Chains A and B, each alone.
Chain A
Amino acid sequence: MIRISTSTLIKLIFSFLFILSFASHAQDSLKTKKNSASQMNMDAAVNKPSLTSDKSPVTLGGYLEANSIYSTEEGISDGLSFQARRLTLFMSANIAKRISFMTELEIEDGGEEMAIEFAAIDVTLDPLLNFRGGIVMNPIGAFNQNHDGPKWEFVERPDMAVNMLAATLSNAGFGAYGKTYAGNWIFGYEAYVTNGFDNTIISNEEDKTYLPSAKENPERFMENHSGKATFTGKVSIKNRNLGELGISYMGGTYNKFEDDGEEIEDKARLDVFALDFNTTIKATNTTIIGEAAWSWIDIPSTYTQQYGEKQFGAFVDVVQPIYQNKVLEWENASLNFAARFDYVDWNIGKFKETNTNIGDERIAVTPAISFRPTPGTVFRINYRYQWDTDVINNPAEEAATWYFGFSTYF
């Protein structure tokens, strides 16, 4: 994500609102662009609910997320807080036939973090071959592609996505994507070369190998820390009746091994492999979403074992609608039960000195109740119970958290 100044952001927001005001005087329609049955996770970056006008090639939209939180850790609570997690603004434009533009501006934590999360131009040569360049989302796993708050029944994002992979990871770069259809089957791919990670992934205040720390680097959209491109690629296959399966890879050199032409470190790389799937069991209307990822990171043998060379993480969401009908004036309201299981092991291996397992793991379960007056708006109550084991494998620290919040497209 690119960090931008507050004044620039305010200008962007005013511009956005101005365009929104203009567009709303036209014949408005809030709609998704295409039939959801033909959509895949890869389409989420550009296929969002948006306000369109017959008089303008520009579409506008966004979403807002806010919640209350009450957490206790080892019996100690800091009390009740209210969080304005993020306000995200979308804007897209059809520049010309076969050329379009889309951007996503995100303001997180009440304005503490402001970023351009996605801003790319798409040039369609063929449905199977589209060029995309700008600030692109690295398609590692499905959550990174498809993370809009209103789509999920949970206030927190999956641990694997946020704290192992770098959720909403985007970088400057370019590449290609495409889709093709055959009966009920859809095949899609994405492949990009972008700027990559940096040394902070193995030297950070989390005291663990932590890919998300690279998102803190404000220079990463202007300069590739390692000087070597990171490749991210994903292939997905979807059957309209069975669901979608995605396989993705991201890898490259992450460290600055040369400076001013001098070799200052051994070259070190990271490789990440992810599997994702989602399906809806038609008989029960149960939706299951899951993702697993493995990462391998080169770490010098003379560095501390605090930083892991291998990581694994996974999450599974199960969402069961229990009531779907008209409520008040909402025609397609639904009440859902849901549950999430999170697991991350940031440091797979054994200590050299004792041959005992290295810890640094997290397990969390989150039962949830959500109410959707419309598909694009969700009110949710979550209860999350989490077990954190430190690197030495001492008894886990337990934390319990209640959330009540909402997320809505607009």
Chain B
Amino acid sequence: MKTYLNFVILILGIVFFSSCELTATGEPEEYELLDGPTEGLSKAESRRFVLGDVAFNDQIFTTETGLGPIFTGTSCVSCHAGDGKGHPFNGFTRFGQSDETGNHFLDQGGPQLQNKALPGYEPENLPSGAPHTKLVAPIVTGLGFLEAVTDDYLLSLQDPNDLDDDGIRGVVHWNHIPDYVKPHVDAVTQNGMYITRFGKKASVYNLLEQTADAYNQDIGITSVYEPYDTYSGDMQEPEIDEKTVNDVVFYLKTLKAPIQRNQDDPNVIAGQQVFETIDCAKCHLPEMQTGYSPIDAISNKTFHPYTDLLLHDMGPELDDGYTEGTATSAQWRTAPLWGLGLSGDSQGNAYYLMHDGRAHSIQQAIMLHGGEAINSRNMYENLSDEEKNKLLAFLESL
């Protein structure tokens, strides 16, 4: 009996200790994930990346930690699951501005509608007659690369007078920036305004402004950068410390750029040719260069965002009558297409594309392009089904 028991224990022990690795969950390939650090971070940078990762993905705000009292989301990750595009359930509404004269509803809660509230509080309601638009949260990967593109580079992409007569103009967004935002040393200014590039209207200068504003407007969290409570309008003690905000900014700067999949697939290669043939690539630029960055991993790099970071008039179908900064209501920043094929992993196995998620497929999204993109849309319509499928295969590979 003793021999038998010893044998059983031995077998169980071997099974247990040898099974740990064999029975572990598989690790997804890097190209299947949006999250993860940019390759080449130093150990110290990796440590800071992890701190920002925890704050971005794990820190849930509650009544005790400052949530709201009016808000649109409870955490960063609630709107950017897996660092990807947001889902309409956590979409948000901006309101109060219809032209470059500014937001006339700031005293009524503009520019963002905090449409959720803690128990016992009333959320904001859209003021009667306020111009507005609905938005879903954008993908947040690769943002450090976009931030590191120089102003001069963006200016070189402009064609405000359509000199090449292709119907595509594209302009940078000149906008005012908050006092706490330090412009880049090589920033270009015009009438006291700077070239802004983040957000659906490209109205935000950099990732610090984006992050501080999101904590405040989305979650109701005050910081040294945005000290005013969205509910009372009163200045408050910071509900999040400066270091955490900056750790999140660092995290966003150093999130890797999405990796294209199936690059050798003949359909993907052919689809890319279609993409260029019908002039999609004129706005959704396949390749850009960063300038200098104190983070070596993103300094002077070539990357593939499929955007030009410029504003384009997208026609009446996408003109919601609302705008920000000095953009017109029909102008939208070219959305980066990187990570497009992984949208389903953050949008609940579905597509909610365009600024408000109204397109439920890539094809629908293409067909919603108007204005400066109307020629491309027309050319898309004239493609054969085979060409359309190849274009789709390429877009899904991004």
Q: List 29 A-B contacts (CB under 8 A).
A: A73-B25, A75-B27, A199-B119, A200-B62, A203-B118, A206-B60, A264-B120, A266-B120, A302-B116, A302-B117, A302-B122, A302-B123, A303-B116, A303-B117, A304-B78, A328-B1, A354-B89, A354-B348, A356-B350, A381-B12, A381-B15, A383-B19, A391-B78, A392-B89, A394-B346, A394-B347, A394-B349, A395-B345, A400-B23
B25 touches A354 (CB 8 A): no
Looking at chain B's contact residues, is the secondary structure mostly helix, strand, loop, or mixed? loop
Q: Give min CB distance, B136 to chain A, whole Å.
A: 10
* A369-B11 Cα distance, complex, nearest whole Å: 12
Interface residues of B in 2-29 (CB under 8 A from A): 2, 5, 8, 12, 15-16, 19-20, 23-28
- A77 interface residue (CB < 8 Å to B): yes
Q: Give min CB distance, A301 to chain B, whole Å.
A: 10
- A280 interface residue (CB < 8 Å to B): no
- A28 interface residue (CB < 8 Å to B): no
Which residues on B sit within 8 Å (CB–CB) of A278?
A: none
Which residues on B sit within 8 Å (CB–CB) of A398?
A: 25-26
- When A204-B62, A392-B348 are in contact, do A75 and B74 touch as well, CB less than 8 Å? no
Which residues on B sit within 8 Å (CB–CB) of A205?
A: 60, 62
Chain A residues touching B, range: 35 or more
Which residues on A sit within 8 Å (CB–CB) of B352?
A: 354
* A202-B118 Cα distance, complex, nearest whole Å: 10
B118 touches A303 (CB 8 A): yes
Which residues on B sit within 8 Å (CB–CB) of A390?
A: 81
- A116 interface residue (CB < 8 Å to B): no
Shortest Cβ distance from B4 into A: residue:
A327
Which residues on B sit within 8 Å (CB–CB) of A328?
A: 1-2, 5
- B87 interface residue (CB < 8 Å to A): yes
Q: Give min CB distance, B19 to chain A, whole Å.
A: 6
* A328-B73 Cα distance, complex, nearest whole Å: 60
Contact digits for A87-110, partner B, Cβ 8 Å, 1 yes 0 no: 000000000000000000000000
A→B interface (CB under 8 Å): 70, 72-77, 80, 199-200, 202-207, 255, 264-266, 268, 300, 302-306, 326-328, 335, 351-354, 356, 358-359, 369, 381, 383, 385, 390-395, 398-400, 402, 404
How many pairs, one residue from A and one from B, have CB atoms within 8 Å of each other in the complex? 126
- B75 interface residue (CB < 8 Å to A): yes
Shortest Cβ distance from B349 into A: residue:
A393
* A353-B134 Cα distance, complex, nearest whole Å: 12
Which residues on A sit within 8 Å (CB–CB) of B63?
A: 199-200, 203
A207 touches B24 (CB 8 A): no
A354 touches B88 (CB 8 A): yes
Chain B residues touching A, range: 35 or more
A327 touches B348 (CB 8 A): no
Q: Give min CB distance, B66 to chain A, whole Å.
A: 11
- Residue of A328, A354, A399, A402 contacting most chain B CB atoms (<10 Å): A354
- Residue of A70, A392, A400 contacting most chain B CB atoms (<10 Å): A392
* A285-B91 Cα distance, complex, nearest whole Å: 55
- B82 interface residue (CB < 8 Å to A): yes
Q: Give min CB distance, A212 to chain B, whole Å.
A: 14
* A202-B60 Cα distance, complex, nearest whole Å: 12
* A390-B79 Cα distance, complex, nearest whole Å: 12
A402 touches B16 (CB 8 A): yes
Q: Give min CB distance, A260 to chain B, whole Å.
A: 14
* A205-B349 Cα distance, complex, nearest whole Å: 25
B23 touches A392 (CB 8 A): no
Select which of B5, B24, B88 is within 8 A of A77 by beta carbon: B24
- B245 interface residue (CB < 8 Å to A): no
Which residues on A sit within 8 Å (CB–CB) of B345?
A: 394-395
- B146 interface residue (CB < 8 Å to A): no
A304 touches B116 (CB 8 A): yes
